[in-house]
Structure 1
Amino acid sequence: MLRVLTAGESHGPELIAVMEGLPSGVPLLAEDIQADLQRRKLGYGRGSRMKFEQDELTISGGVRHGLTLGSPIALRIGNTEWPKWTEVMNPAPVELTEKSRGRGAALTRPRPGHADLVGMQKYDFDEARPILERASARETAARVALGAVARAFLAELGIRLVSHTLSIGPVRVPDDAPVPTPDDVAALDADPLRCFHPETSERMVAEVDDTRKEGDTVGGIVEVLAYGLPPGLGSHVHWDRRLDGKLAQALMSIQAIKGVEVGDGFETTRRRGSAAHDELFVTSDGIARGSDRAGGTEGGMSTGTVLRVRAGMKPIATVPHALRTVDVATGETAAAHHQRSDVCAVPAAGVVAEAMVAITLADVVLEKFGGDSVKETRRNLTAYVDGIAESLRTSAQPVDLAHDLAL
């Protein structure tokens, strides 16, 4: 079982990420984690902050000579902007100098769509700085770093992930478009919106341009696919052990995510039952499903087919044309505080979603197969798959009804 913890504020000296429970023997290099931190900055429509945040990574514990030790993994992501914020975010009581007073001014106009107002109520603050610093999506850098660790573990078991952008605002990839595989990550990262459909990507760029011209922001939908999963991860026996439930919680915890679906999700609710489920057929490769509507889970467990989950991101709430709010210091209507922001951060949300799915899958893999070393985990997984009765073995690929059943 994995335990994951992040700490730190947006303009603090660093973010801290800790993962406990990962087996020993997983190959892990700082440059691999750093590469994922750079991927988090990708995407057309990002703001200026992505250009000067360096995300200086240090592995502080749990790794020796490129291999995990089985002890807690500790990561530090330094904030290169910290020298500008040493007074405003100092943990000790300090008097702000003239230079820092503007940056450290009380934020008494909470921003709609953010944690500002509710956080001030809950934690008894009279301004939003203590809330927005931790609520900021900057925290996702720590999640992406831990996701890279989880993906390195999963890769040792033959499990690989990929994420891509399905929609930006009203512009969406056609339903019949091909989906990417893990071998397509480089091509996806080279696309301005991390979209696997070139014609749609061009329209997405135009949508972002139009949004920027209007002084607004735009959201969208990302999809994460996991290849190589065995059947039986998760469980039907209790609500908190269901794989789809764990995935939904993990994805909904990402800042600005407002909806999650597994497989065809909400589209399935518009179908009749006869067209909503994946029928089973006998093939030369074992039992195969005739479609992939369920997205790789049934009854709260992985089916052994490709796992497919989607997350919907709302438009960023920090709108250049500041939204109306109330100045809690005066009680009067005012324009909300405006921090630096992106027009569109959906491509980055895909990278973060990929990280959260990786962490979730690593957790359920260890719940099912255990192991203090990755070799032990691999032996346990292999023994489990080999022990499935011949009559119950399934194919990882949906059957081609027009071709395979005719043979």
Structure 2
Amino acid sequence: MRYLTAGESHGPQLTLIVEGLPSQLPLSKEKVDDQLRRRQKGYGRGRRMQIESDEAQILSGVRFGKTTGAPVALAIENKDWKKWTDIMSVYPDDEKATKRRVSRPRPGHADLNGAIKYNHRDMRDVLERSSARETAARTAAGAVGRQLLEYCGIRVAGHVVRIGSVSTRRLEGWSLEEIVERSEQSPVRCLDSDAEKKMIQHIDEAKAEGDSLGGVVEVIVENVPVGLGSHVHWDRKLDARLAQAIVSINAFKGVEIGIGFEAGERKGSQVHDPILWSEEKGYHRASNRLGGFEGGMTTGEPIVLRGVMKPIPTLYKPLQSVDIDTKEPFAASIERSDNCAVPAACVVAENVVAWEVARSLLETFPADTAEDLLQGVNRRREEARNF
């Protein structure tokens, strides 16, 4: 299973093609739209979210609410496109081509590197595609994968554990349902009400200073069967693929799985998870410090991982840059932006994780139909219990 996205931030639409879904999988447009709406929420978002109201149009591969086995094509309209039709035209026009030209690269963005790589004298050709607007299409892909997981009884949730210098208390004993409910109620997707208030204040202070904030998000996946991923090749380790998926999200710079970097501070007896067996649960772990993975494969415990997002580099108090035409120093260009997108990025992270787990599920249990997939997953669960 794979997907491709196309589209620019101010182009007419984002396009997504998903290939490899089994047939007869219930696929709801409303559930895709729900994830797109969740991505647009969050304290600290900018004016673009007041313009867009993302909704997916399913163009192929689904009939009467179920997949056919053919590629699924989706489109997400950019409502801001009508103001950019001249600037983003696909037709040759030397006069229009000079409008809104970007010659001053913004530190922290792909502008200068991409312009050098692809020989663009107008860096708008870089920033339009490197924009985080593309994460709407990736969220839609994850929403498709998420429905495949739901069909197999696998659930995904996420929440924010840090914004800037404000972090949550480590909260134990929350069910997945409680995490979903509380994070959806919070404007910063935080489970800790005390930390939530401090995060909102922190965002307001940064905005007043023309600055931005990053943070840390956590994603949990429950009821995953044993043995997704593989130990036999480096590129089949699922934890490694999840780490790559998280870091591929705009502005994400690092990943922890389970207790993550804390494992480097502890002794081995305080890191690894003792193996238990009972009639009720079969094989299970006494703890989940390794975040649901051993040897690149799922253990059957919940997948738990965290991603760190750097502050958004578009600042209303811009850093110094250099004009590529004159080579003179200038303050970097300002493009419309959020000053904190961590709550929204949490939703993107949930969905890229959902996609990778769904892809691994189909690799482990190849199936032409959704029912065949479910039978394979349930068979593995039974085998693991009786092994």
Distance in 2 (alpha carbons) for counterparts of 1:281 and 1:304: 12
Give the deviation of 1:106 after TM superposition.
1.7
Q: In structure 1, what is the equivalent of residue 169 of structure 2? A: 174
**What's the secondary structure of 1:224's corresponding residue?**
strand
Give the deviation of 1:287 after TM superposition.
3.3
2:312 to 316, 319, 339: 316
Map residues 386-401 of structure 1 onto 2, 5 A cutoff. Answer: 386-388=382-384, 390=386, 392=387
Q: In structure 1, what is the equivalent of residue 376 of structure 2? A: 380
Distance in 2 (alpha carbons) for counterparts of 1:283 and 1:366: 29
Q: In structure 2, what is the equivalent of residue 293 of structure 1? A: 289
Contact 2:221 2:303 in 1 (8 A): yes
Give the deviation of 1:29 after TM superposition.
2.1
* CA shift digits 1:251-305 (9 cap, x unpaired): 1110000001111111111111221111223444333322111000110000001
User: TM-score with structure 1 length normalisation?
Assistant: 0.92
Q: In structure 1, what is the equivalent of residue 357 of structure 2? A: 361
Give the deviation of 1:57 after TM superposition.
2.1
Map residues 33-52 of structure 1 onto 2, 5 A cutoff. Answer: 33-52=32-51
Contact 1:3 1:21 in 2 (8 A): yes
Contact 2:182 2:190 in 1 (8 A): no
Q: In structure 1, what is the equivalent of residue 237 of structure 2? A: 242
1:201 to 186, 191, 196: 196
Q: In structure 2, what is the equivalent of residue 157 of structure 1? A: 152
1:130 to 125, 133, 136: 125
Unaligned runs of 5+ in 1: 393-407
**What's the secondary structure of 1:230's corresponding residue?**
coil
Q: In structure 1, what is the equivalent of residue 6 of structure 2? A: 7
Distance in 1 (alpha carbons) for counterparts of 2:333 and 2:295: 46
Matched, 1:93 2:92: yes
Distance in 2 (alpha carbons) for counterparts of 1:41 and 1:339: 18
**Is 63-72 or 24-33 further displaced after alignment?**
24-33
Unaligned runs of 5+ in 2: none
Give the deviation of 1:179 after TM superposition.
4.2
Contact 1:87 1:94 in 2 (8 A): no
Map residues 40-119 of structure 1 onto 2, 5 A cutoff. Answer: 40-94=39-93, 96=95, 104-119=99-114
Matched, 1:216 2:215: no
Q: In structure 2, what is the equivalent of residue 275 of structure 1? A: 270
* CA shift digits 1:319-338 (9 cap, x unpaired): 11011010111111110000
Q: In structure 2, what is the equivalent of residue 144 of structure 1? A: 139
Matched, 1:226 2:225: no
Contact 1:168 1:218 in 2 (8 A): yes
Moved over 4 A (4+): 177-180
Distance in 2 (alpha carbons) for counterparts of 1:160 and 1:87: 44
Distance in 1 (alpha carbons) for counterparts of 2:190 and 2:115: 38
Q: In structure 1, what is the equivalent of residue 23 of structure 2? A: 24
* CA shift digits 1:112-166 (9 cap, x unpaired): 0000010011001112100000000000000111111111111000001001101
User: How many residues of Structure 1 are paired with residues of Structure 2 in the alignment?
Assistant: 386
Distance 1:16 1:222, change over 3 A: same
Q: What is the CA RMSD across the aligned residues, in angstroms?
A: 1.5
Distance in 1 (alpha carbons) for counterparts of 2:380 and 2:221: 19
Matched, 1:327 2:323: yes
User: TM-score with structure 2 length normalisation?
Assistant: 0.96
Distance 1:389 1:84, change over 3 A: closer
